[in-house]
Chain A
Amino acid sequence: MAGPASTRRSTLAAEIRRRTGLNPAKCYQCGKCSAGCPMAEETRLRPHDILRLVQRGRRDRLFADDSIWLCLTCETCSARCPNEVGPARIIDALRELALESGEGAPPRAIRALHESFLKQIRRHGRIFEFGMIAGFKLRSGKLFADVGKMPATMKRGKLALSPRNIAGVGDVRRIFDACAAAAGKEVRP
């Protein structure tokens, strides 16, 4: 465990602790989180790698990589962690931090999904899937993905075409604005 990097104080770990109440220093690298992670075979950094980089304050390596954005928040890691470190919540906090500081951003398709999704909520108070999917296609460039499924989905009565705003949509917009102000940044991935 000795070495120049580990003697540097990690302000990142302190920041994560402030945001989540969880202590990344409690991770002793057993790797149980990574053993159960459904995305581990697709990511460069596995959950225990992410925890180690948080301990060492390596924002550069964490935010330059797609790995934190590929977490599905299935919570398997947190459920199985023998020391209650809570990797899933820590990864969420890393994503939030990356967006706030501008040091990292999700891959295009994932960003497109979050943007379309949040825009629908802000605009209508609820998700209208048709508008959400259309927005996703435009933002992601995946224009033709799943178009073959649209007629069958409509036939089954599963797509509402016209959005209706909830009465309290003003409430919802105020909530978005307040949360953006708290983050010091518009809520946009």
Chain B
Amino acid sequence: MKLGYFPGCSLHATARECEESLRAIAAPLDVELAEIDDWACCGATSAHATNHLLSVALPARTLALAERQGFDTVLAPCAACYARLASARHELAKDKALLERVAAILERPFTNAVKVVSIAELLRDLAPKIREQAKRPLGGARVAAYYGCLLVRPTEVSGFDDAEQPSSMEAVIAAAGGTPVEWRRKVDCCGAGFSLSRTGSVIRLGRAILEDAKKAGAEAIAVGCPMCHSNLDLRQKAMSRTLPEPLGLPILFLSQVVGLGLGLDPQALGLGRHFVGTGSFVAKVTAPPAPAEKPAETKQEVA
């Protein structure tokens, strides 16, 4: 499967491990990622909170480039970029006058023909292949799937999963050999774009999310958004400050969880780049299965 790849700004910087793990799992899953040549930033919150036309035109330029470069589907692994690209596509499909207006601003041919997929949707559809290729049972590790806002909302834009009780990320975790955790805050907001400008809100919201995951027995959280990742990983120490003990929950990108399940090298998956150490989690999930779980013939070989 060949996909137009829209990394977005974060995957080249603070979320490098997201790109590294994605590239690492692509080959074993028969996915070819071809980066869209000369893509621009999606505009993120700063565009949609200040100028609506800009928030449609910036993603539209990238979609127009993808169209000309021959892609029929674009993968946006950052949930925030995904929401901007998919929202622009949705609005332009509904409003022909807006499409004409935007094409005129872009000064390039644009028919809005390219589909946009999120990482959760892509990996859910690849779950049978992940299951087939999985090398390790992840030691039965309990992983909480955290969707945040933009993978499942706005509902009319996303629509690949239920907005209140989504299950696609759980299907991916299970296919990779992990045990998905039942918890309550998987579609809550972590404070997203306020990480720098209103840090206190992010600490309050993130702490509630992490505490709930911990209470449900999670040993790690899987995310599909670099903003959620940065808030819950980089700011976890500050979120723990008022608690009796540190939360100590590694925050992994969903592609890293899949990579571990496929038996790939943790360093190649960028697992050394986290603020909350992933060492003990990785050690647990990469440990050889206990002898009792080994099939009989393997036992004979060992003997």
Contact = CB atoms under 8 A, between A and B. Distances in A.
Interface of A: 19, 38-39, 42, 69-70, 72-76, 78-79, 88, 92-93, 95-96, 99, 109-110, 112-114, 117-118, 120-121, 125-129, 133, 136, 140, 142, 145-146, 149, 152-153, 156-160, 166-168, 171-172, 174-176, 178-180, 182-183, 187-189
A183 B51 contact: yes
Name the 9 nearest CB pairs between A and B, nearest first: A74-B189, A75-B153, A117-B46, A127-B9, A74-B149, A179-B54, A109-B197, A114-B46, A113-B197
Contacts of A178: 53, 57, 105
B197 A136 contact: yes
Contacts of B16: 157-158
Contact of B189 (A38, A158, A189): A38
Contacts of B10: 129
B52 interface: yes
B163 interface: yes
Contacts of B196: 109, 113, 133, 136, 142, 145-146
A140 B197 CA distance: 8
Contacts of A176: 54
Contacts of B139: none
Nearest to A119: B46
Interface in B141-184: 148-150, 152-155, 163-164
Given A76-B153, A78-B154, A166-B38, A175 B105 contact: yes
A79 B52 contact: no
A168 B106 CA distance: 11
A43 B16 CA distance: 35
Nearest to A98: B50
B275 interface: yes
Contact of B198 (A70, A136, A174): A70
Contacts of A157: 16, 273
Nearest to A120: B41
A121 B43 contact: yes
Contacts, number: 166
Given A109-B198, A171-B61, A158 B54 contact: no
Contact of A73 (B15, B45, B234): B45
Contact of B50 (A128, A145, A189): A189
B153 A74 contact: yes
A121 B40 contact: yes
Contacts of B47: 118, 121
Nearest to A38: B189
**Secondary structure type dominating chain B contacts:** loop
Contact of A172 (B12, B58, B153): B58
B54 A175 contact: yes
B192 interface: yes
B275 A152 contact: yes
A92 B55 CA distance: 11
A174 B108 CA distance: 12
B49 A92 contact: yes
A72 B194 CA distance: 8
Contacts of A114: 45-46, 49-50
A160 B13 contact: yes
A95 B45 CA distance: 12
Nearest to B40: A125
Nearest to B274: A156
Interface string B184-208: 0001110111101111010001000
Given A109-B198, A179-B105, A126 B49 contact: no
B14 interface: yes
A44 to B, nearest CB: 15
A65 B105 CA distance: 34
Given A166-B38, A189-B49, 9 more contacts: A38-B205, A73-B48, A79-B152, A79-B163, A121-B41, A129-B10, A129-B13, A159-B13, A174-B105
